[in-house]
Amino acid sequence: LTPAPHLSCLCPGPGAGQEVQTENVTVAEGGVAEITCRLHQYDGSIVVIQNPARQTLFFNGTRALKDERFQLEEFSPRRVRIRLSDARLEDEGGYFCQLYTEDTHHQIATLTVLVAPENPVVEVREQAVEGGEVELSCLVPRSRPAAVLRWYRDRKELKGVSSGQENGKVWSVASTVRFRVDRKDDGGIVICEAQNQALPAGHSKQTQYVLDVQYSPTARIHASQAVVREGDTLVLTCAVSGNPRPNQIRWNRGNESLPERAEAVGETLTLPGLVSADNGTYTCEASNKHGHARALYVLVVYDPGAVVEAQTSVPYAIVGGILALLVFLIICVLVGMVWCSVRQKGSYLTHEASGLDEQGEAREAFLNGSDGHKRKEEFFI
């Protein structure tokens, strides 16, 4: 027994008698919904509010159904207002506002419960390796209406492929995206964003995914000092990269063995009390399952005789200084010339009379002043 909604009461005129009027309501799951039955020319008749199962919630202002989530907020000659907190999907349906006069009036407020998406779950199909492709999936198991999923990388949208499945009243939505990856993408951030009408305007749920791209190692040696003399202690550091990170670094000297005093601990090789016999090409090596890297360092230990040699090379420094000064002066002269040419060609009037066929007219227009002419400025750099 579900009589059709009474719509004529939307425009009550004089003498229309008592009327009840209501509106549809939309609420997000877990939120608060207010259902209002507006009364017109109320004369004290009984007002009944029923839930979609046609159970009476309130009988003329008195609670009839024991569900504390429903509260009577207002009962005045103008309206009856009830409040539903913690709205659930099963609360959906038509709520009846009924007015018992000789001629029973009722109207139905349809309550719609939307479900906002939770933060999406982002997963990778298989381990990404440089030069290959990565496939990411983004899943939102519950939303109503079906959430729209979007992918972003460096603020640019990526094209994903979405699919949805309806489970009862809610949707399960997924999206996948594929793209090529390089070693520089390791650690990069990809965002999956979910949006639907249950979220406030402009809001979305986002999940960041940090790309994990495996790549072969690189190695570089840094020395603790540039010039090495006898007796010095030199520390060589082997900076390695790679994903997975190489867990072992091997130090060698050409095809000779390392000096006995040398101490290799992880990334560093310490060579104390250097003597010229320590000369040689030192290497550090690292590898992971994707490759191998090696860096070289040529050690030349200077003896005191070499220091004297270094002093004789001082005139070269002076010649270098003079050359640098000359280059600087030439640059100054060039800059000066460019500056002068800019000032000369700085600004002038252009005559761009279009549609003036005759020379006389054109000249007249030119002499008539600059009103119709644009002042043009051009700079030459």
Ligand X SMILES: *[C@@H]1O[C@H](CO)[C@@H](O)[C@H](O)[C@H]1NC(C)=O
In the complex with ligand X, the residue whose CB is nearer, 79 or 142, is 79
- Count of chain residues binding ligand X (CB under 6 A): 17
- Rounded to whole angstroms, the Cα distance separating 326 from 263 reads 48
Site string for ligand X, 296-325 (x = CB under 6 A): ----xx-x--x-------------------
Asked if 35 and 25 touch (Cβ cutoff 8 Å), the reply is yes
Residue 157: helix, strand or coil by DSSP? strand
Nearer of residues 8 and 359 to ligand X, judged by Cβ:
8
The one among 197, 270, 279, 283 contacting ligand X by CB under 6 A: 279
Q: Which is nearer to ligand X, 121 or 262 (CB)?
A: 262
CA separation for the pair 129, 243 (Å, rounded): 9
DSSP-based helix, strand, coil % in the chain, nearest 5: 15, 45, 40
Q: How many residues appear in the chain? A: 381
Q: Which residue(s) pair with 72 in the sheet? A: 82
Site for ligand X in 151-180 (CB under 6 A): none
Binding ligand X by CB under 6 A: which of 3, 24, 187, 261? 24
Quick one: which segment of 254-262, 283-291, 329-337, 349-357 binds ligand X (CB under 6 A)?
254-262
Contact between 3 and ligand X by CB under 6 A: the answer reads no
Q: Which stretch binds ligand X (CB under 6 A): 12-20, 133-141, 181-189, 250-258?
A: 250-258
Task: Indicate the residue among 53 and 277 with the shorter CB distance to ligand X.
Answer: 277
Q: Which is closer to ligand X, CB of 24 or CB of 85?
A: 24
Stretch that binds ligand X, among 49-57, 157-165, 252-260, 330-338 (CB under 6 A): 252-260
CB 96, min distance to ligand X, A? 13
Q: Is the peptide bond before 244 cis (omega within 30 degrees of 0)?
A: yes
In angstroms, the CA 283 to CA 294 distance is: 7
Using CB under 6 A, which of 55, 163, 276, 341 touches ligand X? 276
Tell me which stretch binds ligand X (CB under 6 A): 119-127, 263-271, 273-281, 285-293.
Answer: 273-281
The answer, yes or no, to whether the previous bond of 272 is cis (omega within 30 of 0) is no
- Smallest separation, CB 280 to ligand X (Å): 8
Paired strand residues for 235: 270
CB of 68 to ligand X, least distance (A): 21
| Encoded tokens for 105 | 């009036």
Distance CA 161, CA 175 (A): 5
Work out whether 255 is an interface residue with ligand X (CB under 6 A): yes
Task: Count Cβ atoms within 10 A of the Cβ of residue 283 and give its class: 0-12 exposed, 13-18 middle, 19 or more buried.
Answer: middle
| Measured distance CA(265)–CA(288) in Å, rounded | 19
Binding track over 66-85 against ligand X, x by CB under 6 A: ---------x----------
- What is the amino acid identity at position 85? S
Contact 305, 284 (CB under 8 A): no
Strand-pairing partners, residue 136, are: 124, 177
For residues 324 and 217, what is the distance between their CA atoms, to the nearest angstrom? 40
215, amino acid identity: Y
At its nearest, how many Å lie between ligand X and the CB of residue 259? 12
Nearest CB to ligand X, comparing residues 61 and 131: 61
The yes or no reply on residue 254 touching ligand X (CB under 6 A) is yes
Only one of the segments 181-189, 205-213, 275-283, 309-317 lies at the binding site for ligand X (rule: CB under 6 A); that segment is 275-283
- Roughly how many angstroms between the first and final C-alpha of the chain, as a whole number? 87
Residues of this chain, 48-67, that bind ligand X according to CB under 6 A: 60-61
CA distances, 10 to each of 26, 40, 99, 271, 293 (Å): 20, 10, 15, 94, 81
Task: Report the nearest approach of ligand X to the CB of residue 43 (Å).
Answer: 9
Q: Which of 110, 172, 224, 237 binds ligand X (CB under 6 A)?
A: 110
Q: Which is nearer to ligand X, 300 or 329 (CB)?
A: 300
Contacting positions for ligand X (CB under 6 A): 24, 44, 46, 60-61, 75, 110, 254-256, 276-277, 279, 300-301, 303, 306
